[in-house]
Structure 1
Amino acid sequence: ANKLIEEFMLLANKKVSEFVGKQSPKKTFIYRVHDEPDVSKLAALQGVVSKFGYKLDFRDRKTTTNSLNKLLESVAGKKEQNLVDTLTIRTMSKAEYTTHNIGHYGLAFDYYSHFTSPIRRYPDVMAHRLLQHYLDGGKSVNEAIYEDKCVHSSNMENLATKAERDSIKYMQIKFMEDHKNEEFVGVISGVTDWGIYVEIISNKCEGMVSVRDMKDDHYQFDEAQYALIGKNNKIMYQLGDEVVVRVKNTDLVKKHLDFNLIGKPE
């Protein structure tokens, strides 16, 4: 039943934007667009997955989509799944609101809008008002005014997302205060030249292991492989690897969660 309702929602969003978008002369409308993946990030993804024996085809939009879907199916259940899933998601552009329709890559729709959903967003209300206006025979509204409203809506969406993440992070750190010096198995969710980020599998709390605390060797950041590699021992900590960490420090004010790296699971 949930899937059926979701399909109805997608269809309504698609058909309303299609109805207005195909009218002549052109009429201003609110679209939810999603651009194609970033070319440089796709190239980086190709470089990583080729080491596992996977090939990608980026000749055009259709082959790119099919190739990415096939890749995700191929890595399911394998040790490289975490790495490939994370990197594939990072190639994707962010969806936004605009009056300039470029289609929705993620849904493979030429026309898409936020017209209906379980929550009522302001862009939904704008779409309702514009549809009614045009059904009543109204002329196209001022595009610049509505583009400003789209930019504002996208910015507010980003702020709301950040607020949600910050509140979750706060509660995660508050939870982890009671688990200092305990060991957990996690997955490397990010790699930088200053350390690695690890998401604990059991509770999804994410913290950082500073490279300064990795004292068994001098670790260097390999951007191409998304990894820290020991200069002497050649041990590699790569995005998607499972590791064992111990809670080192929690800071609610700065919203920091720090780990000590114990090593890789037995």
Structure 2
Amino acid sequence: KERMVYDDVSDILENGNENLKSRYSYLLNEFKMMGELCSILRKRREDRGAINFDFPEAKVILDEDGQPVDIVKYERRIADHIIEEFMLVCNETIAEHFYWQDIPFVYRVHEDPNPEKLEEFNEFIYNFGHRLKGLSTGIHPKALQDLLEKVKGAREERLINTLMLRSLKKARYAGKSLGHFGLAAEHYCHFTSPIRRYPDLEIHRIIKESINGKLNSERIGRLGEMVPNIAEQSSIRERIAEEAERETVDLKKVEYMADRIGEKYEGVISGITSFGIFVELDNTIEGLIPLSYLFDDYYIYDSERHILVGEMRKKVYRIGDSIRVKVNKVDMAQKEIDFALWDQS
């Protein structure tokens, strides 16, 4: 067999690359079946109500000295989806198996959202003509996924995705199976990446002990004492690691833009506040146009409709609007980027 890379598999399945098809001709049928199985698994997951957020992800390209030379939007292709779906079904299968074995285990849980937070979210989306179904009887994840499908391509898509995510609880590790709301799964765990996540490694150890017949009553009792602490510590370290990753990417974005003062870009309004307009570029870099930079009029923030309206000219800035900006200022210490309008008059 071969050690494949994501782009090659995607080029074969998406583009029918003849050179790659010739090179890997004896694997083409397997690739085709993998693609078909991916579609089946994804549809099954969506049919039961799994929520699929689609946030753009930045890919930072560094030189040999660690300096950012480019930042691009990471493109998720068919090979990424294949691996994702296969990992999800493996994680779910392992979790369900050990749940019914009644063996102490490290589960990945995502508890039902707080009703009050969902009610606040529902009030917010009402301003855009949307509403959630089933709030009074207990929300099902499919209601949230249906909303995401409804707003796909709309101006407010990014905002609603972001605020929906914030209204949900954060997934964590636990010693009990409490279900996974976002995946609409009864039992779930992280099993597929033992080289980079400790919970996965611990699960592999438990599986190995189970296969080798070493899970006697004494060992099971010891695992029962250990697993809650393992889950709690893993959740704490995960949050720290995620924050470090976010801060590192933000720092590299700021470093990249620091050498581009005065350069002009096309962007999209990603957020509007009482103090300015957030603009996201195609490469996922986000900056702020402070309200003080809008000198062509006095702008009033409409908090219900999330728009800025010029008092005299009645010009309106809305989330999702295309906008042309130039880089005005970069603050390395605060990791902030200020934009100004490209052609304000």
Question: Normalization by structure 1: what TM-score?
Answer: 0.80
Q: Call closer, same or farther: CA 1:50–1:28 in 2, change over 3 Å.
A: same
SS in 1 for 2:279: strand
Residue identity (%): 35
Per-residue deviation at 1:31?
A: 0.7
SS in 1 for 2:221: coil
The C-alpha deviation readout for 1:198-227, integer Å capped at 9, x for no partner, is 2112x21111223343443154472x4445
Structure 1, unaligned runs of 5 or more: none
In structure 2, give the amino acid aligned to 1:137. Answer: L
Q: What is aligned with 2:63?
A: none
Per-residue deviation at 1:237?
A: 4.1
The C-alpha deviation readout for 1:163-200, integer Å capped at 9, x for no partner, is 22222222222222232223323233344444333211
In structure 2, give the amino acid aligned to 1:10. Answer: L
In structure 2, give the amino acid aligned to 1:140. Answer: G
Q: What is aligned with 1:95?
A: 171
Q: How far, CA to CA, are the matches of 1:20 and 1:208 in structure 2?
A: 49
Q: How far, CA to CA, are the matches of 1:5 and 1:152 in structure 2?
A: 27
Q: Does 1:7 align with 2:85?
A: yes
Match of 2:293 among 210, 213, 234: 213
The C-alpha deviation readout for 1:230-258, integer Å capped at 9, x for no partner, is 56666554544443332111122332211
Per-residue deviation at 1:154?
A: 1.8
Match of 2:205 among 119, 129, 152: 129
Q: What is aligned with 2:324?
A: 244
Q: How far, CA to CA, are the matches of 1:21 and 1:85 in structure 2?
A: 32
In structure 2, give the amino acid aligned to 1:199. Answer: E
Per-residue deviation at 1:68?
A: 1.9
Using the TM superposition, name which of 229-238 and 4-13 deviates more. 229-238
Q: How far, CA to CA, are the matches of 2:321 and 2:120 in structure 1?
A: 18
Q: How far, CA to CA, are the matches of 1:20 and 1:180 in structure 2?
A: 56
Q: What is aligned with 1:81?
A: 157
Q: Does 1:19 align with 2:97?
A: yes
Q: What is aligned with 2:68?
A: none
Q: How far, CA to CA, are the matches of 2:90 and 2:253 in structure 1?
A: 37
In the TM superposition, what are the counterparts of 1:68-217 in structure 2 within 5 Å?
68-117=144-193, 119-134=195-210, 135-138=213-216, 139-141=220-222, 143=224, 145-201=226-282, 203-215=283-295, 216-217=297-298
Using the TM superposition, name which of 250-259 and 120-129 deviates more. 250-259
Larger radius of gyration: 2
Number of equivalences: 259
Q: How far, CA to CA, are the matches of 2:112 and 2:313 in structure 1?
A: 40
Q: What is aligned with 1:67?
A: 143
SS in 2 for 1:35: coil
Q: Does 1:254 align with 2:330?
A: no
Q: How far, CA to CA, are the matches of 1:118 and 1:226 in structure 2?
A: 44
Q: How far, CA to CA, are the matches of 2:195 and 2:314 in structure 1?
A: 51
Q: How far, CA to CA, are the matches of 1:118 and 1:245 in structure 2?
A: 44
Q: Call closer, same or farther: CA 1:234–1:48 in 2, change over 3 Å.
A: farther
SS in 2 for 1:260: strand
Question: Normalization by structure 2: what TM-score?
Answer: 0.64
Structure 2, unaligned runs of 5 or more: 1-33, 35-78
Q: How far, CA to CA, are the matches of 1:80 and 1:49 in structure 2?
A: 9
Using the TM superposition, name which of 138-147 and 102-111 deviates more. 138-147
Per-residue deviation at 1:129?
A: 1.7
In structure 2, give the amino acid aligned to 1:88. Answer: M
